[in-house]
Structures are given as C-alpha cells and as structure tokens.
Amino acid sequence: MASKDPKETAAAASSSGAGGGFFASIASSLSNFGTAVSKSVNGPVPYDGVEVVNPEGGTEDAQEEAQKGRWKQEDRDSYWRMMQKYIGSDITSMVTLPVIIFEPMTMLQKMAELMEYSYLLDMADKTDDPYMRLVYASSFFISVYYAYQRTWKPFNPILGETYEMANHGGMSFIAEQVCHHPPMSAGHAENEHFTYDVTSKLKTKFLGNSVDVYPLGRTRVTLKKDGVVLDLVPPPTKVSNLIFGRTWIDSPGEMVLTNVTSGDKVVLYFQPCGWFGAGRYEVDGYVYNAAEEPKILMTGKWNEAISYQVCDPEGEPLPGTELKEAWRVAETPKNDKFQYTYFAHKINSFDTAPKKLLASDSRLRPDRMALEKGDLSTSGYEKSSLEERQRAEKKNREAKGHKFTPRWFDLTDEVATTPWGELEVYQYNGKYTAHRAAIDDSSDSTDDSRTEFNPWQFDNLEAE
C-alpha cells in the first residue's frame, strides 16, 4: 500500500478548511496503546503536591483544583485512602462508588445516547458508493465520543435492568444488563435502514489518579439494503485526574471499522493530547479498499465536525476535489449542570419512552431520579438499597438453584476476539419486538412515570 502518514496528509488538508480532533492525555508516565501514545500514573503516588495538568493549557496545584466541582476536600481525602489498595487492579465491579461522582443516567442509557446521530447510518445504507458508506458509518462512530467527554460516571445497571427508547428516527432501541460479574450489557437498535447490535463489557486498570478503560466488547451494524455487515474496534480510553484535579478523558489510538462483507475498512487515528492541549480532539485517517489502497481522506474534530475528501493512491487529495462535511455536532445547551446535550435530556425523559414502559427501565430508578433533582443524600440511600436488594435476589435465586436468564438477549456459542481479550457474545432474540407490537396494539394507557422500578426476575424464574 502506497500512502502517506494520514496525520501529515490530514494536516495539509485541514489547512485549507478542515479541522482535526480528539481527547487528551495526562503528563505522568507512559503506556502504549497500539500505535498511539498516552500518559498515565504508573504506580502509587501521594496526592500532596501532585501537579495537575489542565488539557486546555497550564497547571494548577492539586489542592486548589480539588476544591472545584461537587467534591469536597475531605471527600477526596477519604476516597483516596480507600482507593489506594486497588492500584493496578480492574475496578469494573469491585468498588462501591459515592453518588457525588455520578450523573443521573445509567450505562444502558449511555448506550442509547450513542444513537443520537443514527441518521448517519441511514445515509450509509442509502448510498451506493461503498467508500462513502464507510465515511458515513465511521462518522457515526466518531460522533459518539462527544457523549464520552462528560466526566460524570453513569450508574451501573442492576442485573435485569433495561432501557427502551422510541420516537427517534423511526428507530426502536432496547438494552439489558445481562451479567453482573463481570458487568455486561447488550443492546439492539433497528429501523428500516439498519440493525445495530452490541455486547458491551469494559476492562479497567486503576492507576492511582487515573484509570485505563479497555472496550472489551463487540459492535456490529448491518445495513439492510445490501446486507453489508460492519464491525467496529474502538480505541481504549483514559480517565485522568480521577480523584484530584480537573477530571478529563482521552481516547488516543486507532479506530478500525471494517466492512466484513467486502474487506474495505476505515482506519482513523485519534490523536493524544499534547502539552498545553496541542492536538486535542483531532481525528484523521483513510477509507481503504480491500487491497488497502487509500480512497478517501477523513479529518476533523470529534467535538466539532468530520470532513472527507477523495484522494489518489498516494493518499493525496485528488485535484479538483474539496473537503466536504459529513457530520457536525448539534447545538448544545449553555452551562448545563451535567454538560448534557439536548438529546441526553431526552434520554432521561418519558418523551423518548414507548407506550407502557417496562418496570425494569432505567428512567424509573429512584437513585437516578433523586440525583436528577439534586438530592445527593436520597440518591445515595436509594443506590445502596438497590445494591442490597440485588445481593438478596442473587442469594435467593441461587438457593433455589435457578440461573439468571436475560429476557431479550440470548448467550450465543460465539466468542469474539478483541485486542484486549475474548468476549462471550449475546444476541438479540426478537422477543422485545413481539412484546412491543402487542403493547402498541393494546389500549393500555399506564402512566409510566408512576411505575415502580423492578428489574428482579426471581419470581418469574420460579414460576417457570
């Protein structure tokens, strides 16, 4: 394959009208993520005197920075003492976290939030150009990083918890927490143009004041017109200044989106943030054909827009062509408490809920609703209560010899291989589609907002 470094070509192209863009990296130690370089805390460090790097430029003392946000200094001190013993560990499900670091949304809702720009998948299905198909589809997967920038943590779903979404681009969406240890979620979205299937599992490594997050999951999109199957391998993510300092997120590395049907692919490089914010948000790369020849240059910023330009076999912009915009971030609210987009607010509302919501839906969680109202005390109490109830349900179920079975997804025999390990794959079983059709045909007008949250399945299992 004859092509230039996409970063060099993209930089040249952007000088005539395109941006570049991606997340940041903390200035404390090195760890390699494939071809990307990021920086992290690589061992136990005392917090006194820690220099806090602001990715926007400049440094501030940790104690001063720690006073900002919802954290109180004594909370940070206590939390730091508790967390030191976990340095080097996977903390995905072993640590109980205080609600002060949460946002009023669950991980299942976060999965649904990624569908905000699903119209890009519609466009990928409609086009007859195999390379533009990948431009639109990869732009969709870049767009999801705008939601990832928020540093508040979503609530972990209770086993059996679900989230439904409707009234968005003619699409139905269902997600379910299918495993508790390790935490795993499965999701399915569908409209007339595509199906979207994901098995989500995260692997983490706690490094003191930062945590590395590895996306040990599988995402597949099927475009209905031609039956094209797309497979995604995203880059890892780092959350820096987790306890002390101004928390920020970076995802340096390569994103690879492959057309499994044809062998064409997109390779996009997410730039690590350099000193004083240099290179933050930048994304660039190429659409390649099956012979690994560059066909289209892509460049932009994940928090602004992504553009593309047809290129020659050397990766140079083709004479007579120009950069065209494929995606631009939608307008967002000013000074929002949780840095939510308008779509994120819809995710929490009943405006996006289908008729007669499942009682296991995340919107109904009492801890989430209390936090949304700003009641940290009640939210913390309700969170602990749900976790205790989850433990009791597990004990009851196991005493009866029952095994938890997801309702809308089935565990398959397939094991997917990812850069960070193997993954058991869950597949949508179609039962939700039938359930929703039956509900939509009925005349039930239940007030979903008054439905009590109930993801517990033990009684149903016992009845079987």
- Domain 6-335 CATH class label: mainly beta
Asked which of 91-95, 101-105, 206-210, 324-328 is least confident by mean pLDDT, the reply is 91-95
Radius of gyration of the chain (CA): 22
Mean pLDDT of 365-380: 95
Please provide residue 253's backbone torsions phi and psi, each rounded to the nearest 5 degrees. 140, -165
pLDDT, one tens digit per residue, over 86-139 is 666 565 555 667 788 899 999 999 999 999 999 999 999 999 999 999 999 999
**CA dihedral in degrees (373, 377, 381, 387; nearest 10)?**
70
Q: Which structure tokens are listed for 459?
A: 């009684």
Coil vs helix vs strand at 464: coil
Its pTM stands at: 0.80
* DSSP of 348-391: HSGGGPPSS--TTBGGG-HHHHHHHTT-HHHHHHHHHHHHHHHH
Mean pLDDT of 334-361: 92
Residue of 239 and 312 predicted with greater confidence: 312
Asked which of 99-113, 284-298, 450-464 is least confident by mean pLDDT, the reply is 450-464
Residue of 163 and 37 predicted with greater confidence: 163
pLDDT, one tens digit per residue, over 402-423 is 889 999 999 999 998 888 888 8
**Going by DSSP bridges, is the β-strand pair 421-428/265-270 parallel, antiparallel, or unpaired?**
unpaired
Say whether pLDDT at 51 is over 50. no
Q: Side chain identity at 215, as an amino acid letter?
A: P
Asked which of 84-98, 257-271, 344-358 is least confident by mean pLDDT, the reply is 84-98
Coil vs helix vs strand at 91: coil
pLDDT, one tens digit per residue, over 269-284 is 988 876 656 667 899 9
